[in-house]
Chain A
Amino acid sequence: MELLLLCDFGSTYTKLVAVDPKAKKIAATAKSYTTIETDVTLGYELALNEITKKTGKNTVFTKKLASSSAAGGLKIISSGLVPDLTAKASRLAAASAGAKIIKTYSYELTAAEEQYINYASPDIVLLSGGTDGGNKDVLLHNARVVARTTGSFAVIIAGNRSVAEQAASIIAENGKEVVITENVMPDFNSLNIAPVKDVIRELFIKNIISAKGLDKIQAIMDMDIIPTPLAVFEACELLSTDFGELMAYDLGGATTDVYSMAKGLPAQENCFLQGIPEPFAKRTVEGDIGMRYSAEALIALIDEEQGLQNFCTKNNIDFSAFNKWQDICKKSPGVLPVDEYASYQPIDEALAKAAISLSTNRHVGTKSKVKTLAGEAFLQEGKDLTKIKHIIASGGAVINAKNPRAIMEAAFYAPQDLNLLKPFKADIWLDSANCLSAAGLLSRIEPQLALLLMKDNFDKI
């Protein structure tokens, strides 16, 4: 039997999907714990054995592809000048490369921010700021600050090209690897994220795979390992060629990723677009919204927004049970609210709902009304996603939920959302077979097959 093997090395699980290209379907799936601390191939072999047990001894894998978000994923700190301009552009660029953005800084880096860079040990620091020929000071200042930090990360310079080389030599003199690429915002309000995306991918292949202990896997694979969010991103782009405009969610333990494949332009004539025109394919990643490792940060956000007591009352949750479940999750982040923990299911689902709602609010654009002499007009910032017709839901907390639709409906517009441009109503597709990132990998060699797999395996809920 000739199969294609698609592997995802996640922070907790190593997930394998074997695809039969002749029958055009998934032949087998398997998962085991990711064993990155010892030898990542151990967990891989276990899962692989499970696959061949199902597909037979004479299974041949003609192509093996892998993505990884293990060992903390691809951690990037990005920076720019003005928060809504180059800083935002740098964040969008890093997100589109599949990074986990741990911080985005604007203006001159402070001593405290320098300390944080030392402490956080990112894989890459991305410096931008100033349009070409524009502000020079911020890029040079931030290069000097980053040059003296202690980490062994690589630095990407994607700012004002008039001083890019000068900034790069400041970094290089201090012994850090540095790559210069095109400005993320060469002209005012024009985004240029593809060159940064390419450089991030090259650095991931060149440095980060081995730094994360994935060399042994890379040696077995037929193509370069890519960050898992990038695989998901590519799966979404492919799917949008068939579904039309769509959104997708990956609700994870550490982050919540939101994708939109949509133009998101103003829907009416008297609506004016403000700020950076956002890309058709957009990803946001929320490091403070997650179901396990980031649960504490998520709960703090809920508390700030509506008060924790109020949240529990509204969702009919016993407050002490809520706290107890958090203790359980902290001790074993792999835990699911099933079997002996089944009574905690409503708590986990309420948190998931909040995660979807909050991450949507940050992804979508806003619209505000202004009165002009020519009548009422609207100002729109970011993307208008009200007309989205399809939402893809993935991630353990949704897939394993009793009522995944109730969780995903938190993505929809509700009266309290006021001026947020969230989807009004959309079909929700559950990635129950966990094939989204696998389809992204597959899209690199067999796009037609990848598309078919998604359409066959997504469940409309």
Chain B
Amino acid sequence: MNGLTMVLGVIGADVHAVGNKILNHIFTEAGFKVINLGSMVTQKEFVEAAVETNAHMILVSSLYGHGEIDCKGLREKCNEAGLENIKLYVGGNLVVGKTDFKEVEEKFLAMGFDRVYPPGVDPEISIGHIYEDFDVKKS
């Protein structure tokens, strides 16, 4: 265990469940305490799970192109719930069509996310980033 608690889930009316199961497996193996909410998760559920479990981070997946609408306001909801310091990570097919990823990343950073990932990114990369963000030495 690396002492970090993560809330994980697929946001919105998004039924993609397989990737979520893979991520759950990988992060658990890496030593995270994973609170996996599965697919079809609302913002309210993410926030409430993080409050109750005192999570360090929320990791949001979105595969169906409506990520922007679904994720808007999540940072504000966290602030409202007293989670000003929680880290927010997001990844997947966040927008429909061929938008330049740089643009997507900027958009989501402006929405209050700490890190944004394109589709197909290796989870090891994000684990490295998380360790950096939380100042954890990788063993």
Interface residues of A (CB under 8 A from B): 81-82, 84-86, 129-131, 133-136, 185, 188-189, 272, 274-275, 370-374, 377, 379
Contact = CB atoms under 8 A, between A and B. Distances in A.
Contacts, number: 60
Interface in B5-24: 5, 13-15
Interface residues of B, number: 20
B109 interface: no
Contact of B35 (A130, A188, A370, A371): A188
B39 interface: yes
Given A134-B53, A373-B64, 13 more contacts: A82-B52, A85-B49, A131-B52, A133-B33, A135-B51, A185-B52, A188-B49, A188-B52, A188-B53, A274-B42, A275-B45, A372-B13, A377-B15
B70 to A, nearest CB: 12
B40 A134 contact: no
Contacts of B5: 133-134
Contacts of B55: 134
A188 B54 CA distance: 11
Interface residues of chain B: helix, strand, loop or mixed (majority): loop
B48 interface: yes
A135 B52 contact: yes
A308 B30 CA distance: 60
Nearest to B63: A373
B33 A85 contact: no
Nearest to B45: A274
21 contacts: A84-B48, A85-B49, A86-B52, A129-B52, A130-B54, A131-B52, A133-B54, A134-B54, A135-B52, A136-B54, A185-B52, A272-B40, A274-B45, A275-B45, A371-B13, A372-B13, A372-B14, A372-B40, A373-B14, A377-B15, A379-B40
Contacts of B15: 372, 374, 377
A82 B53 contact: no
Nearest to A86: B52
Contacts of A272: 38-40
Given A372-B15, A373-B64, A82 B51 contact: yes
Contacts of B33: 133
A85 B40 contact: no
Interface in B25-52: 33, 35, 38-40, 42, 45, 48-49, 51-52
Contacts of A373: 13-14, 64-65
Contacts of A274: 40, 42, 45
A266 to B, nearest CB: 12
Given A135-B53, A188-B35, A272-B40, A82 B48 contact: yes
Contacts of B14: 372-373
A131 B53 CA distance: 5
Contacts of A129: 52
Given A188-B35, A377-B13, A130 B52 contact: yes
A81 B49 CA distance: 11
B94 to A, nearest CB: 15
Contacts of B52: 81-82, 85-86, 129-131, 134-135, 185, 188
Nearest to A131: B53
A133 B39 CA distance: 24
A443 to B, nearest CB: 36
Contacts of A372: 13-15, 40, 64
A173 B80 CA distance: 34
A189 B45 CA distance: 11
B79 to A, nearest CB: 16
Contacts of A133: 5, 33, 53-54
Contacts of A371: 13
Nearest to A87: B52
Contacts of A185: 52
Nearest to B16: A374
B77 to A, nearest CB: 13
Contacts of B48: 82, 84-85
B54 A135 contact: yes
A91 B15 CA distance: 31
Contacts of B13: 370-373, 377
Nearest to A129: B52
Nearest to A275: B45
A377 B35 CA distance: 24
Contacts of B38: 272
Contacts of A370: 13, 40
Given A130-B54, A135-B53, A135-B54, A377 B40 contact: yes
Contacts of A379: 40
A135 B35 CA distance: 14
A373 B15 CA distance: 8
A379 B42 CA distance: 10
Nearest to B39: A272
Residue among B38, B40, B45, B53 having the largest count of chain A Cβ atoms under 10 Å:
B53
Contacts of A81: 51-52
